[in-house]
Amino acid sequence: MESATKTTEKISGPRVKQFSVFLPNKVGALSEIVKLLREREILVLALDVQDSADCAIVRIVVSDPEQTQELFELHDIPFAASNIVVVELRGGANELPHLLSALLMAEVNIHSSYGLLTRPRGNTALALHVEDNDCAIAVLTSHGFRILSQMDISR
């Protein structure tokens, strides 16, 4: 575990927080959330929507997680928060097979994944919700990938 600790120390800032917001399946529900965030100058940096008949689960990464959590609590918006791994793909989509191969060899299970709406440092970035963040970070770092922190993506 010591190598995972050393690897995570290389991340320049706090880990990236993902919010899973539970919304009614109705027209405009997502728009209301984004508008509420925008009123507080919070940007949505990544977005993934999973729709079902009764509700939608919206996974979002924002520029200010602390304020977002307070806002959701204040407005009784049901949510769950978790840390995710955001990895920079300097070569864009060409690096995806290498990334997936590295995680497969380490037997790291990917629960969900989506691209960021922004391009930190001008590069493509991928949000990964994985089974074991520390293991994924150690493996990806050892394969030459740069792991991004909340500070890296919020700039």
Sequential DSSP letters for 3-60? HHHHHHHTSSSSPEEEEEEEEESSTTHHHHHHHHHHHTTPPEEEEEEEE-SSEEEEEE
**Domain segments of the chain: what residues?**
2-15+83-154, 17-82
> What would the mean pLDDT of 71-92 be, rounded to a whole number?
96
Q: What is the pLDDT of residue 6?
A: 45
Pick the CATH number of 2-15+83-154 from 3.10.50.40, 3.30.2130.10, 1.10.357.10, 3.40.190.10: 3.30.2130.10
Which residues are paired to 115 by β-bridges? Answer: 126
Which residues are paired to 83 by β-bridges? Answer: 17
pLDDT cut 70: percent of the chain above it: 92
Q: Which fold has domain 17-82?
A: VC0802-like (3.30.2130)
Q: How confident is the model at residue 79 (pLDDT cuts 50, 70, 90)?
A: very high
Measuring CA to CA, which residue among 19, 31, 38, 44 is closest to residue 154?
44
Q: pLDDT higher for 111 or 55? A: 111
**The two three-digit tokens of residue 122, written as one number:** 């001008």
**CA–CA separation, 26 vs 53, rounded Å?**
10
- Output the average pLDDT for the chain: 91
Residue length of the chain: 155
DSSP state of 1: -
Q: What is the pLDDT of residue 53?
A: 76
pLDDT for 29-66, tens place per residue?
Answer: 999 999 999 999 999 999 999 987 788 999 999 999 99
